[in-house]
Structure 1
């Protein structure tokens, strides 16, 4: 079942004509907010989105009227109502409701967090997470975005993309060295991705964050398409690599297999 997905179709001129610019710009305003910019003035929103102040104001007032944005008279910020947009995606993922009990069993068995992520553009986004009681140095939650090239989840997902897509990804992505162990050479990364594709899992050792290692496997639908990746992460000091291979990997593979078998 370990077969790459087909490349997405390029946008056609007709598709460009059908694009609703006002919707795209409204979403750009929402996406401008984040951990680094939880609240912004009108001027800051305009600068972050490349809009004029007048245009940014119209979108902000519309979002405020809909309940997605709040204002104290100077600063604008998102409201909890925005979570409804994310929940619409989560509730539409039929596999998550099926995978959840299997992921919970994995987390209980190994006493570490079990997560699921999907590829969104050139990054991975966490779409499910069963946290462990242990404290981790990396603060992860649903919606967290991370680079694909230096994460076990990301390498599994990259291994299921067409080779030409991976080449383009490596050409356009800034391959920053997040730790002394991060692989940033494109040829070495291609070799790592090929290895993941061949053996069906990825083990990343302190490349994303010092002291953290993780292991991931693909999650397939009933047609054999990779729809997500599952992983377990843990502190390197308490998680020997051999334990990851002997205990964590079989647990993840079982969870992924049982999820696939239970899918409609």
Structure 2
């Protein structure tokens, strides 16, 4: 199975409705090879990469050599690994999505006020992807950094993003399977939709022990200038440090204030971006 299929993030031509002739399979395969490298396979042989992607060894060899020539991979002793150049892809995302840079000071202030991690996330396929984060490394046993993916159905961030998403997106998440990660994970589609309705009514989501036992998280929507929800602002702690009532009564108001601040800055950023800049001299 390809890396694109494994992470559930890609829309092939059949899903998107695009003409098959407009779909460049070689690009898909190139990304599949790049995504084959992760914490479990930081350095892989040709055979290992082929097994992970489901591609033939000759095809993988050509892709590896091409990516090496472009500077995204390096090889040593028959094993391949990513180079720092791949980080520039993430930098391009941040540079073209103002919400990432704008959110950082707000995340920092929220972290300082709560002494817990604060994050910004967006939907990608059926997962939630962290696009900005100020971290306190003591909450989760799983490692979370910018670029990390978690299932949308089992997280407060995902609940917020799905609550204001189109029905087709919610249906895609349901059809992908609401897999249980703990005994408390919502796996019933009716219960999930009821939960999303409650989130829309309350204006925030709180999830306890659905992604990981003992993890307590909350999320609120971040809106663009036209009111569209463009991201979720999230906070995470453990049931041993805060109760559900404390998070709801003490932390959520701080989060709503931070989200309003990000939204206001997004409006200002858009206005500043469209405002003409006066120039001296004759033109």
Q: Residue 110 in 1 paired to residue 114 in 2?
A: yes
CA distance in 1 between partners of 2:226 and 2:165 (Å): 16
Residue in 2 that maps onto 1:5: none
Residue in 1 that maps onto 2:17: 12
1:85-118 CA distance string (max 9 Å, x none) = 1121122221122211111111100111100111
Q: Residue 78 in 1 paired to residue 82 in 2?
A: yes
Residue in 2 that maps onto 1:6: none
Q: How many residues align?
A: 254
TM-score, structure 2 length as denominator? Answer: 0.85
CA distance in 2 between partners of 1:13 and 1:121 (Å): 17
CA drift at 1:68: 0.9
CA distance in 2 between partners of 1:154 and 1:206 (Å): 14
Q: Which runs of structure 2 are paired with 1:18-29 in the superposition (5 Å)? A: 18-29=22-33
Q: Secondary structure at the match of 2:190?
A: helix
Residue in 2 that maps onto 1:121: 125
CA distance in 1 between partners of 2:184 and 2:53 (Å): 35
131, 135, 143: which one aligns with 1:139: 143
Question: Closer, same or farther in 2 for the Cα pair 1:218/1:205, shift >3 Å?
Answer: same
Q: Which runs of structure 2 are paired with 1:11-50 in the superposition (5 Å)? A: 11-14=16-19, 16-50=20-54
Farther off after superposition, 212-221 or 97-106: 97-106
CA drift at 1:139: 2.1
Gaps of 5+ in 1: 1-8
1:110-156 CA distance string (max 9 Å, x none) = 11110011100110111110113645434211011000001000111
TM-score, structure 1 length as denominator? Answer: 0.91
Contact 2:139 2:238 in 1 (8 A): no
Residue in 2 that maps onto 1:198: 201
Gaps of 5+ in 2: 1-12, 271-283
What RMSD, in angstroms, separates the aligned Cα atoms of the two structures? 1.7
CA drift at 1:47: 2.1
CA distance in 2 between partners of 1:218 and 1:135 (Å): 22
Farther off after superposition, 149-158 or 176-185: 176-185
